[in-house]
């Protein structure tokens, strides 16, 4: 095998090399795709501002690809830097004619045993794995001039059955009815190989990227015959679109064009390639439609090297599927389809493949999500794609009405103003975030390393925001939820797992000391006999607690001011009723009827201890079971499940009623599976679903701007819900028709399916 002479920094390309423990090779016609896993030890930030080993680890999967000339160098790197691979069994997908040579190279460079994996098994399992785990993995592409991406997040209940159309050398059509249930329905010999071969014979062009570039500059009029050319003005008499293709290359038989390829000028080459591409894709689409009708399937995924997120290919397939099916069938594509076969083959022998694996943004290159950051007219080469194992099983929240519905209130992909506002806000906070990161580990012995890691975070996050500014679909969805989560991931990648841990602890201590006084005041008000007034006061306290948010610029100014921000002053900032969205009356009328209440909590400190806890205590006193749900991992100053459990004994000491409720498990704690200031209920911890179903939850309370306004504001649940938050940004206040510190207290009845 020819070896490349150029120098490649494999230490940057290959992450976690010393910890790589399993690997799979997928050899294709021009590239080799490598999927490997590693187990990475984790460290955590401590209350005394240093960083120590947590005693825990994280499983990760990385997908990379190299050209054939680079492959021997990569194998050499693996052999020298990956000691855990020695003596193991590695997986090998059989797909290319060079297999024997490649196998020999692997055995020569690595002391391993090869295990062959069936390509079709890998293709199907890899596709289903991505659809089950990765947000916005599936997308459609418009066939008009807008070239719009529309992303979907699917779940196992809705994704099956589907057709998988693999356009490689030929075309294979597979019916997938379950994660490992599939059967080949048929195929065609006219596919990617036909396009490459005929294009080279006709035009002399041999590179697929050049072919695609030329197709974009081509016109079908030189070689193709259209309905208008046959029927003229009479086309409408037959209810036919005059612009429809009637015969690919039909003009050649009429002597209306140059017949000999050697006489083609550059434009004729462009036109010929476009006509050829359309001919093949129209036939593939017709095959897809016919087999979808036979199989009663409404969703068809196209993948393979001919597709690979090329706008001209996706546009043509989308148009043709829509045409043949009279609008019933849409063409779907995958963001990471380049790695489906290799990933699926790798997962065949991975014990944790049934766990929830999440896209690991900071472990991927700028093109890691495989939506182009180059101009949309051009092709691109994929690089690194990374995933991390959450070590729990995830599923859509069982009380969601639409399990595939988008949680985001405003779709930034279609709202330039909203997206630009958020990017600007995040840009302005980056310096403060970097300072917080450094301060959180100020007692770490190697301070220079802390500063370097913080600067790397700043640099990487700025680059990510710049990429999204230029091409907003470069990372799939770019909503508030996604942007905030990317920031948290980059912080974690740089060794800053919880930069607010000291601030949260300080506020928790202050709040727990204040709690007895707040509860005593509520009890005193109750003794005066105005039950409704007391309950409104408790709800105002819930809202006041939500004012304390280190993610809100105006509130941060107040907390950092000379006098700070007390809970009493926060209550004063809660506007008087009627509120902007005021569902208090209907909630009050029904609140005693609820038997099982789930509360998604927001911030640590005052929000949780002085806002949520007194609110929950009133519901508990009414006989309700209360389940409080917090993030599984840190994000900003949001409460985590571990912190919630840790502070439970302090709550018991503060109030005898709380002690009784906690000891009897009338009040319990559960984790959401989330690691963002927002809430995407399409993927939650299985423990949450089990708890909700066991105790037959009949009210869902979502508190905070991120969870109740930026996400879930329009989401419907099968049971009643309460969405409560104080608006702390002027931009959102303007969008919702309110003002700074306007109140959203949105009580909604459940939707019967």
- pLDDT tens-place string over residues 233-248: 777 777 778 888 889 9
32: β partners: 27, 66
Confirm if 281 and 320 have CB atoms less than 8 A apart: yes
User: Which tokens hold the place of 527?
Assistant: 């003794």
Write down the domain spans for the chain: 10-137+340-391, 140-222+258-334, 416-494, 502-748
Mean pLDDT computed over 165-187: 94
Residues 6+ apart with CB under 8 A from 732: 705, 709, 710
What per-residue confidence (pLDDT) applies to 378? 29
Q: What is the mean pLDDT of the chain?
A: 89
* The token pair that represents 32 in the structure block: 């080799």
Question: Tokens 């295990």 identify what position?
Answer: 115
In whole angstroms, what is the distance from residue 50 CA to residue 446 CA?
10
Is 291 in contact with 186 (CB distance < 8 Å)? yes
Describe the crossing of helices 501-527 and 613-621 by its angle, rounded to 10 degrees: 40
Q: What is the DSSP string of 437-452?
A: HHHHTTT-S-HHHHHH
Mean pLDDT of 403-419: 91
CA 326 to chain CA centroid, nearest Å: 32
Q: Which letter, b or e, does each residue of 325-336 get, where b requires 16 or more Cβ atoms within 10 Å of its Cβ? A: beeebebbbbbb
* β-strand pairing of 596-600 with 581-582: unpaired
Binned at pLDDT 50, 70 and 90, residue 5 comes out as very low
Q: The tokens of 208 are what? A: 């697929």
pLDDT at 76: 93
Task: Tell me if the domain spanning 502-748 has CATH number 3.40.50.10880.
Answer: yes
Phi and psi at 650, nearest 5°, equal -65, -35
Closest CA to 495 of 438, 551, 552: 438
Q: Which helix (H) or strand (E) holds 370?
A: none
> Which pLDDT score, from 0 to 100, does residue 369 have?
34
Q: What's 575's DSSP letter? A: P
Q: Do 161 and 176 meet the contact criterion of CB atoms below 8 Å apart?
A: yes
- Residue 234 confidence (pLDDT): 79
Under DSSP, the state recorded for 577 is S
pLDDT tier at 171, thresholds 50, 70, 90: very high
- Burial readout 674-703 (b: 16 or more C-beta within 10 A, e: otherwise): bbbbbbbbbbbbebbbebbeebebbbbbbb
416-494 belongs to which CATH class? mainly alpha
Taking only the tens place, the pLDDT of each residue in 110-122 is 999 999 999 989 9
Are 603 and 637 spatial neighbours (Cβ–Cβ below 8 Å)? yes
Q: How far apart are CA 147 and CA 312, in angstroms?
A: 9
Distance (Å, whole) CA 228 – CA 87: 67
What whole-number percentage of the chain has pLDDT above 70?
92
Task: Quick: pLDDT tens for 54-64.
Answer: 999 999 999 99
The answer to whether residues 457 and 491 touch, using CB atoms and an 8 Å cutoff, is yes
Angle at 409 (CA atoms; ends 407, 411), nearest 5 degrees: 95
Prediction pTM value: 0.91
- Separation of alpha carbons 433 and 456, rounded Å: 12
- Residue 668, pLDDT above cutoff 60: yes
Tokens of 706: 């991120």
- Kindly tell me if the per-residue pLDDT of 19 is higher than 90: yes
- pLDDT category of residue 374 using cuts at 50, 70 and 90: very low
Tell whether the model's pLDDT for residue 381 goes beyond 90: no
CATH 3.40.50.620 fits 140-222+258-334, yes or no: no
Confidence of residue 478 (pLDDT cuts 50, 70, 90): confident
Q: Is the pLDDT of residue 372 over 60?
A: no
Short-list 40, 104, 39, CA closest to 71: 104
Q: Is the dihedral of CA 303, 306, 310, 312 positive or negative?
A: negative
Section 690-710 average pLDDT: 97
In this prediction, residue 353 has a pLDDT band, given cuts at 50, 70 and 90, of confident
Nearest CA-CA partner of 353 in 475, 488, 114, 180: 180
Alpha-carbon Rg for the chain, nearest whole angstrom, is: 29
Percent of the chain scoring above 90 in pLDDT: 70
pLDDT digits (tens, 9 = 90+) for 63-73: 998 888 889 99
Report the C-alpha gap between 330 and 685 in whole angstroms: 31
Instruction: For 543-600, write each residue's pLDDT tens digit.
Output: 988 886 655 555 555 555 556 656 777 777 788 999 999 999 999 999 999 999 999 9
- What is the model's pLDDT at position 678? 96
461/15: higher pLDDT: 461
């Amino acid at each position: 095998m020819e070896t490349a002479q150029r120098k490649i920094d494999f230490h940057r390309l290959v992450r976690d090399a010393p910890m790589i423990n399993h690997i799979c090779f997928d050899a294709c016609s021009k590239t080799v795709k490598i999927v490997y896993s590693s187990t990475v030890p984790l460290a955590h930030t401590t209350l005394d501002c240093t960083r120590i080993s947590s005693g825990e680890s994280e499983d990760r999967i990385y997908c990379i690809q190299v050209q054939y000339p680079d492959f021997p160098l990569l194998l050499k790197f693996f052999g020298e830097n990956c000691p855990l691979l020695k003596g193991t069994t590695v997986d090998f997908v059989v797909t290319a004619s060079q297999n024997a040579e490649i196998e020999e190279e692997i055995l020569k460079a690595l002391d391993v045993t090869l295990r062959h994996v069936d390509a079709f098994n890998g293709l199907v399992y890899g596709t289903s794995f991505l659809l089950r785990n990765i947000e916005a993995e599936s997308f459609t592409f418009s066939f008009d001039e807008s070239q719009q991406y529309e992303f979907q997040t699917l779940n196992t209940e809705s994704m099956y059955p589907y057709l998988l159309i693999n356009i490689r050398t030929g075309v294979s059509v597979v019916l997938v009815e379950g994660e490992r249930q599939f059967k080949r329905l048929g195929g065609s010999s006219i596919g990617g190989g036909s396009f490459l071969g005929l294009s080279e014979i006709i035009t002399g062009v041999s590179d697929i990227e050049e072919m695609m570039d030329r197709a974009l500059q081509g016109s079908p009029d030189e070689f193709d015959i259209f309905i208008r050319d046959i029927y003229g003005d009479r086309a409408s008499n037959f209810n036919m679109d005059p612009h429809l293709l009637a015969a690919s290359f039909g003009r050649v038989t009429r002597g209306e064009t140059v017949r000999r390829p050697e006489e083609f000028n550059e434009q004729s080459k462009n036109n010929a390639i476009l006509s050829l591409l359309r001919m093949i894709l129209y036939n593939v689409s017709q095959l897809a439609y016919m087999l979808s009708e036979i199989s009663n399937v409404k969703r068809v995924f196209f993948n393979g090297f001919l597709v690979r997120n090329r706008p001209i290919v996706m546009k043509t397939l989308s148009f043709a599927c829509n045409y043949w099916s009279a609008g019933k069938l849409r063409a779907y594509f995958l963001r990471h389809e380049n790695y489906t076969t290799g990933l699926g083959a790798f997962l065949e022998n991975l014990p944790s493949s049934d766990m929830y694996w999440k896209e690991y943004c900071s472990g991927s290159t700028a093109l890691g999500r495989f939506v182009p950051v180059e101009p949309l007219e051009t092709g691109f080469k994929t690089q690194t794609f990374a995933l991390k194992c959450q070590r729990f099983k995830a599923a859509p929240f069982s009380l969601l009405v639409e399990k595939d519905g988008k949680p985001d209130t405003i779709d930034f992909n279609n709202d330039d103003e909203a997206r630009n506002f958020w990017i600007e806000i995040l840009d302005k906070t980056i310096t403060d975030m970097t300072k917080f990161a450094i301060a959180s580990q100020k007692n770490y012995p190697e301070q220079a390393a802390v500063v370097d890691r913080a600067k790397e975070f700043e640099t990487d996050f700025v680059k990510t925001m710049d990429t999204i500014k230029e091409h907003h679909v470069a990372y799939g969805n770019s909503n508030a939820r996604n942007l905030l989560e990317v920031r948290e991931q980059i912080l974690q990648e740089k060794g800053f797992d919880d930069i607010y841990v000291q601030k949260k602890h300080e506020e928790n201590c202050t709040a727990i000391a204040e709690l007895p006084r707040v509860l005593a005041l509520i009890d005193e008000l109750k003794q005066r006999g105005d039950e409704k007034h007391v309950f409104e006061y408790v709800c105002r306290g819930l809202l006041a607690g939500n004012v304390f948010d280190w993610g809100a610029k105006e509130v941060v100014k107040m907390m950092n001011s000379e006098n700070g921000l007390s809970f009493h002053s926060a209550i004063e900032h809660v506007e008087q009723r009627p509120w902007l969205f005021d569902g208090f009356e209907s909630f009050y009328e029904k609140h005693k009827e609820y038997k099982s209440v789930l509360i998604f909590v927001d911030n640590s400190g005052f929000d949780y201890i002085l806002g949520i806890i007194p609110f929950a205590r009133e519901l508990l006193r009414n006989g309700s079971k209360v389940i409080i749900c917090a993030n599984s991992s840190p994000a900003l100053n949001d409460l985590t499940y571990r912190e919630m459990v840790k502070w439970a004994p302090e709550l018991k000491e503060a109030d005898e009623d709380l002690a009784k409720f906690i000891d009897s498990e009338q009040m319990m704690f559960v984790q959401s599976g989330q690691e963002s200031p927002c809430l995407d209920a399409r993927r939650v911890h299985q423990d949450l679903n089990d708890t909700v179903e066991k105790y037959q939850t009949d009210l869902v309370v979502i508190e905070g701007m991120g969870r109740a306004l930026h996400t879930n504001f329009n989401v419907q649940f099968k049971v009643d819900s309460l969405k409560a938050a104080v608006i702390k940004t002027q931009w959102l206040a303007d969008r919702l028709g309110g003002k700074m510190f306007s109140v959203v207290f949105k009580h909604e009845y459940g939707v019967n399916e």
